[in-house]
Amino acid sequence: MLPSGEYWSRGLLGVLTAVVLLWALASGVGTALAASDTVTTELQPGWNLAGWTEDEASVETLFAAIPQLVVAYAWDADLQRYRLAYRDGETATGDLETLSPGIGLWLFLEGEETVAWERPLVLQAGLAELRRGWNLVTWAGDDGIATGVALAELEGILLETLGGDGSAPQTLEKGRPVWLRISSAKQWWQLTPPPRIEFRGDFTPAQMRERRAYVDDVVAFFVRRHGVAVPGLTVLFGDEEADMTCGGYAARTLFIRNPCITALPHEYSHAVQHHLAVRDAEGNWGGGRGEERIGPSWLSEGIANYAAAVYEDLIGIGSLEQWNADALDVGLANSNSLEAIETNMGVGGDAGANYHLASLVTGWIVENQGEAALYDFYDVRNEVFRWRSAFHEAFGMPIDQFYKRFEDHRASLAAQRPQVAGKVIGPGGEGQAGVRVEALPQGEGKAWRMNTDDTGAFSGVALEGTYRLSLFLGDTPCHLGWYGGEGYTTSRVAITVLDLPEDARTGIVIQLPRPASELCTTIRGALVDVEGNPYTEPPWVVAWPLHDQDGYTGKDGDGSGMFALDVRTGATFELSLHSYYVRECVVSPHPSLVPDPGAKARVSVGEQDATGIVITVTTGPRRIKEAVGCTAAR
């Protein structure tokens, strides 16, 4: 699943139309997952119509495979004319130089004997890049299928269909081309039904066309680049009520929120991973083998990140070079290990930084083992009961050894970067363990985190930009203050701003006025409905600070309607709920409530936890999740 964020999509259909030729660049990377089928065509002396169904190759490969071949023609749908190659001694001459999977060929054979031309049928041969006008396309699907059934996906744009003899064919033969006259460009995937597309909400016809074209394009990318397509998928656009960020994948369905159209390549990659790991011998969805977990979360998300980055680079809306640079910066600065995010990408409270770490290790895998290794793991996982065993087989080493090698690699890169380092101490000079030190950008820059060890020491790679150092207790949202003034401050105006890397410091000392654990307390309570029963939706409960601090405290209520919010001692907070259903929330009388002219529920906390707070909620029908400020009961 992608972390939240806005994704550019305006004018995407025009971009896809303009760059459709780029898929030739994306092919040939490695097709370990390609179909292993073969096709045989009987070639007669004289002229024959046959399809190239193999991987991309030079035209000399064709002449070498068929010694009787004298002349070959291929139709260029972009120029709406033929390209020619003819035998010239041991080589071939003409403007037909490269054979792409799925192109149709006119072949002239000399001699008097029939030639049985047997060749592989790769998955990419089933993807046709149709252009407006005439196209000579090889059929790669079921042999003998009725033409109307085979071409059903082209309804609305198919103007005319002709066979090699100039008449409309009743059936299609695998490996034989067919002439198609098309009214508009389309990427036609022949081998499995295309994803079913659903729209929820208000979409104009143009927006629906844009999204359908984008789905076609993403499917084509995975076929061209990785030799794989996922059958039986549903793509659901615009489910604004779904409990997700930008996109998600579950149960053979891709969920794409309306502003996040370009989340699709990331989520389709998850579908590829899932299908490869659980498919049956015929390539259909199966039940999987062994333990439920398919593989480590960092690998799943890293591969999905990489697929999206490559795709966006190809169509010109992103930069793979910049993606690698961002992954390197934030991945080096991330204090988490791969093992820490093996099952949970949210460890440490900064999923974005963990996604960058996953991207960094994925780029390292590609650099050392190639792209094919990424999805090969899931191919192996299909036959192995435990994902750790599959990892060992796919990558040639146990997971623990892989972790060590990557950490050594990351440490060697980090050693070449400027560092920020220091110590957090208590009032008596004792080191404060478990303090999270966040470097937050004041302007340009990428946030990163450091954590103090048992001695209170912290260190990390200094990323370029201007930063403030903000302190939190462990993994909680309880904000302790900042680095500034004499070393520690709770005033935003006294913050010390670091201009990095020039101002990288390694001797920072931040002395807290009290032990870190004593600077935080907890607001605890219960959510109930109007009848006094536990309210268990549960909503996101928020304590919004009325003082200077970074961030706020928010946490889901639990299944029994209870909530607990870690906050700074000696401060006041406004309570609110973020929910699909809540319309009103009222806090019952409590000693911690302070008067407010607007009747807002404001809780003042001292040295002890504020416990026993009761919030009564009034609900309505489900809607888009909204924030509802709570009031104090009169």
> What is the set of domains in the chain, with CATH numbers?
1-6+199-416 (1.10.390.10), 36-189 (no CATH), 419-514 (2.60.40.1120), 519-632 (2.60.40.10)
Asked if pLDDT for residue 15 goes beyond 60, the answer is no
Mean pLDDT of 332-337: 91
- Choose among 451, 450, 452: nearest CA to 467: 450
Please, which residues have CB within 8 angstroms of residue 8's CB and are 6 or more apart in sequence?
262, 317
> Quick one: what percent of the chain has pLDDT higher than 70?
93
AA identity, residue 437: V
Q: Are strands 158-162 and 98-99 parallel, antiparallel or unpaired?
A: unpaired
pLDDT tens digits, 428-470: 999 999 999 999 999 888 888 999 999 999 999 999 999 999 9
In the beta sheet, which residues pair with residue 129?
A: 187
For position 130, what pLDDT does the model report?
95
Mean pLDDT of 55-75: 96
Highest mean pLDDT among 13-17, 108-112, 153-157, 276-280: 108-112
Tokens representing 152? 């059903």
Burial of 590-606, coded b for 16+ CB within 10 Å and e otherwise, reads bebbeeeeeebbbbebe
Q: Give CA–CA dist 582/399, Å, rounded.
A: 45
Asked if pLDDT for residue 100 goes beyond 50, the answer is yes
Asked if pLDDT for residue 399 goes beyond 90, the answer is yes
Asked if pLDDT for residue 191 goes beyond 50, the answer is yes
The percent helix, strand, coil of the chain (3-state, each to 5) is 25, 30, 40
For position 33, what pLDDT does the model report?
34
Q: How confident is the model at residue 260 (pLDDT cuts 50, 70, 90)?
A: confident
- Choose among 417, 444, 392: nearest CA to 331: 417
Q: How confident is the model at residue 485 (pLDDT cuts 50, 70, 90)?
A: confident
Burial of 518-530, coded b for 16+ CB within 10 Å and e otherwise, reads ebbbbbebbbbee
In the beta sheet, which residues pair with residue 75?
A: 82
- Choose among 630, 620, 526: nearest CA to 585: 630
For position 239, what pLDDT does the model report?
64
Q: Find tokens 């004018």 and name the residue.
A: 11
Asked if pLDDT for residue 19 goes beyond 50, the answer is no
Asked if pLDDT for residue 24 goes beyond 50, the answer is no
Tokens representing 258? 């309306």
Mean pLDDT of 149-175: 93
